[in-house]
Structure 1
Amino acid sequence: MKNIVVASDLSERSEPAVQRAINLAAASGARLTVVHVVDDSMPSGLSDQLLAGANALLSDQVAQEMEGSDVTTDIKVVTGDVFEAVNEVVDQTNADLLVVGIHRRRKFFDQVRETTVEHIIRSSSVPVLLAMAPGNDPYVRVLGGVDLSKVCAATLHKIGMVAPKAELNLFHAHEISFRKEAERDYETWQAMHVLPENLPPPTFVEGTAVDALHELMDGKSFDLLAIGAHTRSNAGRYILGSLSAGLIRNPPCDLMLAK
């Protein structure tokens, strides 16, 4: 990786994301851009105060996390719409990865509208890493979902960006009764796509992807889950599958979504 962007809302929820982004930048030699967005609908006087305060607070937070690290870092505190502003910074920096923290849970609003984090991930043109655990240590065990799509093949290549030395485990959930048929479908998918070398064989689980995740992660110590960000229809970069959306709201561990 050459460039990483991490979005911070200055809350405790963003601390693991900033930590993880610094860790990844240090390991890969990437340049790190830390961005915070102030709502541009506020009066100009108040907006100016918030910009100055946010810049000072974010600079202090990053400096504390950066202690002992030589990562090249840029701080960007801007006004605008959060989704547009974050994606603009991603485009301007030619980022390879966007890192975000978990969303603030709101029982009512989460039921009736898309969360900020979902919106950012849905509109992002690059893989997104959702960080919820302290990010100072490298990933050790990764679980990757295989749904036999082009997006899934791309996701498997992206795992190496964030967890190059981790133990990789794959799973394929199939809702058909015959294991042999699922294995043949997997072999066909392998032949049709360029995949990373030395992939481990997947665990085949009869049932939905949600059922498979519950079964595989129950009592297991995976610290990263990697899946494709949208549905198997490959209808476009702006679609989040129901599995992805559910995991974004309630991630069992750090979550990477690629498109």
Structure 2
Amino acid sequence: MHVILLATDFSERSDRALRRAVLLALESGASIHLLHVVDDDRPRHIVDRDTLDARTLLDKLAHTLQNVDGVSCNTRVIQADPFAGITTAAKDINPDLLILGPHRRQILKDAFVGTTAERTIRAVGCPVLMVNGPPVGHYKQTLLTTDLSDSAQTALQHFERLGIGMDNGMAILHVFDAPALRLAMVDTLSKESQDAYLQDLSADARRKLANCVSTIGVKRPQQIVRHLETSIAHEILTTAGDTSSDLIVVATQGAHFVARMIMGSVAEQVLQSSSVDVLAIPPNPEKYQ
């Protein structure tokens, strides 16, 4: 990893993201590009004043990062809608990783267009890290998620190239569906038949997950399969808690049952509900095309 783009609004949430960016930069030797987007849908004199203030604050941050933390740093201020500004900067800079502060929910707006983070993840061609947890140190336990599709496996291979948390604990989760148990006629099946059906599906899922692990380059992760009982996002968050994970990795699209949900609702639900960091990776980041 060589270049990290950090979008900041100078809030406490963004300070958390900044500290995580510094930790990752020190770990990888990457430089940091600090970005602030000034909302330009306001009177010009306000936009110009905020732009000047933002440049001053970014310069101070960059000075601290370079002289105190020893991290190479550049700054940029863009006048635009926050979503448009971040996507423009990501296209221009082509970072290995884009880092955002944690989700700030605005119920009505989110219901119609999604948060800036979720819209950005859909639009940019690089992995996006949302920093939810306190950045007290390097990641200790990572939870990878996969639907076993080719695109999900490719995304996990890109995660391996980023080198984040590779020397620490690692688990990989696959959530499998049991469609027969969702049919109206399920009550006609005995408990023994239902258990046998689940055991067969679980064994098949474990075999497929083991094959997946052998192709992604991640060394010896704990392999976990779960039956989909509530929602995929719930299963992911529950597993993250069970494994004491401080980073969840999700692919942003895929090919079949689980995959169709990964970016449509699953990843967004994880982003909105997770108390730990979430790394969303497109299956074909532009950096590697």
Normalising to structure 2: TM-score of the pair? 0.79
Aligned residue runs from structure 1 range 1-259, under 5 A: 1-64=1-64, 68-157=68-157, 158-159=159-160, 160-176=162-178, 177=198, 178-186=201-209, 189=212, 194-207=215-228, 208-218=231-241, 220-233=243-256, 240-259=263-282
Aligned AA (2:176): H
Q: Render the CA deviation track for 1:27-84: whole Å, top value 9, x for unaligned.
A: 2111210101112233332211110111222333454566632111011111123223
**What is the CA–CA distance in structure 1 between the aligned matches of 2:110 and 2:126, rounded to whole Å?**
25
Identical amino acids, percent of aligned pairs: 26
Asked if the contact 2:210–2:223 (Cα under 8 Å) also holds between the matched residues in 1, the reply is no
1:213 Cα deviation after fit: 2.2
Larger deviation, residues 115-124 vs 160-169: 160-169
Aligned AA (2:225): F
Q: SS of 1:162's equivalent?
A: coil
5+ long unaligned stretches in structure 1: none
Q: Render the CA deviation track for 1:198-233: whole Å, top value 9, x for unaligned.
A: 242511111152342244234542110011122434
5+ long unaligned stretches in structure 2: 179-197, 283-289
CA-atom RMSD in angstroms: 2.5
Larger deviation, residues 155-164 vs 1-10: 155-164
**What is the CA–CA distance in structure 2 between the aligned matches of 1:220 and 1:187, rounded to whole Å?**
19
**What is the CA–CA distance in structure 1 between the aligned matches of 2:128 and 2:237, rounded to whole Å?**
22
**What is the CA–CA distance in structure 2 between the aligned matches of 1:250 and 1:243, rounded to whole Å?**
10
| Paired positions, count | 254
Asked if the contact 1:4–1:31 (Cα under 8 Å) also holds between the matched residues in 2, the reply is yes
Distance 1:221 1:67, change over 3 A: farther
1:172 Cα deviation after fit: 1.1
**What is the CA–CA distance in structure 1 between the aligned matches of 2:137 and 2:276, rounded to whole Å?**
14
Q: Render the CA deviation track for 1:153-179: whole Å, top value 9, x for unaligned.
A: 133231553223221111111113222
Distance 1:136 1:252, change over 3 A: closer
Larger deviation, residues 84-93 vs 209-218: 209-218
Distance 1:138 1:109, change over 3 A: same
Distance 1:78 1:214, change over 3 A: closer
